[in-house]
Amino acid sequence: MRIIFHMDMDAFYAAVEQRDNPELQGLPVIIGGPSKRGVVSTASYEARPFGVHSAQPMAQALRRCPEAVVVKPRMSVYVEVSRQIMEVLHTFIPVIEPLSLDEAFMDMTGTENLFGPPVEAAMAIKDAIRAKTELSCSIGIGSNKFLAKLASDLDKPDGITLVPFGNEREFIAGLPIRKLWGVGPKSAERLENLDLMTIGDIAEADISWLRERLGKSYADHIHALANAQDARSVNPSRGRKSVGSETTLFDDIQGVEAVKKVFREQCESVARSLRKKNLRASGVRLKVRYSDTFKLSTRQGPLPEPSSDSMALYEAGCALMDTIDLESPIRLVGAAAFDLNDGDEPAQIDMFTTQDRRKTETLEKTLDAIEEKFGRKVLRASSVRKKD
């Protein structure tokens, strides 16, 4: 039997700000850009009863909670606190899989002789994190990753939830279907139209019937989870899956040329990050958010070869633009590189294309060094290469 923990910090960004500024303690705090066109990154627990939540438009959040204090994110501080948290986790067990700055899986199988029963071990971890950072976290305990992550959210903040070993299916049966990984608002509406309201409803449904209505892959996925089955292991070598950059625009834009201009800037930022980390990407993702509906649309596709070249990202992203609506008012444009590998890792690709790409990567690395010394935008790659 496996024993998996999921550690999730409580309102992490907001909690750090309240810790560092005592005047914010007890107040509704929203972390996000000061512009009303911004998006909420995190809301303190004092702000949440007003209906404020992450990924919400800042203007909407402030209408719901006008007395909220808006704080600009301090990512460098959050990264440092995250490093301290992960150091604490590593004092308990080396098998840790970080999911983000503020959450991680831990495989605690076989540690009972060291730290006691699972709940006792979870209490020790929480105490150690609080002693190191003055922050609280919630921990879910289960026999697999899905159950542990689900459990960590059931008793927030500052909670510990154990999914009983041997009775997992019964424990989760009454929970709403939205608690399943992979079930978002649209999927939930579709499932509810099939009279599938709880996890137990899906667990008891005939798999053939589910496949006919949902497709084999998705049906098998949610049916396995609903039956408390998840064979994934905690992967300590799990690296960062993507590098992204996005901007919320001061004024809405429309049309492919306007989007291309902003997307190019985001690709340059992403490529800089890749080169700084000595990574190359094999895929690119385009993201736009519409102003009128706040709907997010994304498209992604492969690169001709692994690259950290901004032009390679840009050209591959532009090829995706004819499959997405760019005529509606757009308030956000983003780019991301995914399927990352080490920059020194050899790849089986066309020799002549590789030589050209290596030249442009060398050029951009030179520009990175110039910008770092003299400031950004002193010299841009587009000024020494063909224009778009």
The catalytic residue positions are 103
The rounded distance, in Å, linking the Cα atoms of 304 and 312 is 8
The rounded distance, in Å, linking the Cα atoms of 152 and 199 is 17
Asked whether 306 and 284 are in contact (CB, 8 A), the reply is: no
Sequence-separated (6 or more) residues with CB below 8 Å from residue 173 = 198, 199, 200, 203
Tell me the backbone φ, ψ of residue 250, rounded to 5 degrees.
-70, -40
Distance linking the first and last C-alpha atoms of the chain: 57
Query: Which two three-digit tokens encode residue 171?
Result: 């424990």
Asked whether 58 and 64 are in contact (CB, 8 A), the reply is: no
The rounded distance, in Å, linking the Cα atoms of 11 and 45 is 7
Asked whether 19 and 71 are in contact (CB, 8 A), the reply is: no
The residue count of the chain comes to: 388
Tell me the backbone φ, ψ of residue 298, rounded to 5 degrees.
-130, 150
Residues paired with residue 279 on neighbouring β-strands, in sequence order: 342
CA angle 268, 274, 275 (to 5 degrees): 90
